[in-house]
Amino acid sequence: MESLYQPFLAELSECGYILDVGCESGRDTLAFKIKAYKVDAIDYSVELVERATLLTGIKVGLQSFYEIDEHDVYGGVWACASLLHCEHGRLAK
């Protein structure tokens, strides 16, 4: 996964604050946390939120990416494969 992380991390704004959308097990959230980035994570599955919270030690939010309000807070949004579950054209709104 490191080969995917590096181009993303190179483009982060100075704040280096990441939102991991559809974090699933928390694998990527944990990788960013280990690299000393501030990370918030969300998923829309209760089971995955619980698993990711246990793995990462951070409070993972139970939230759909359609409900994200904090657009200007994050330096980058990581959505590894989660947008595959999005209805075509819905996020553009």
Question: What Rg do the C-alpha atoms of the chain give, in angstroms?
Answer: 13
Cβ neighbours, 10 Å, residue 35: 12
Can you list the alpha helix ranges (DSSP code H) found in 1-93? 2-10, 27-34, 46-56
What CATH number should be reported for the domain holding residue 20? 3.40.50.150
Span 77-85, average pLDDT: 75
Is the pLDDT at 82 greater than 80? The verdict is no
Mean pLDDT of 19-48: 96
User: Alpha carbon of 58 to those of 2, 29, 37, 79, 80: distances in Å?
Assistant: 21, 9, 13, 18, 19
- Average model confidence (pLDDT) for the chain? 88
Confidence class for position 70, pLDDT limits 50, 70, 90: confident
> Which domain, by its residues, includes 57?
1-90
Give the residue with greater pLDDT, 82 vs 48. 48
Which whole number is the average pLDDT over 10-19?
86
Q: Given pLDDT bands bounded at 50, 70 and 90, which one contains residue 35?
A: very high
Q: How many domains does the chain have?
A: 1
Contact by Cβ (8 Å): 42, 65:
yes
HSE-CB of 5 using CA atoms within 13 angstroms: 14
For residues 75 and 18, the answer to whether their CB atoms sit within 8 Å is yes
Residue 83: pLDDT band (50, 70, 90) is: low
At residue 37, the pLDDT reads 94
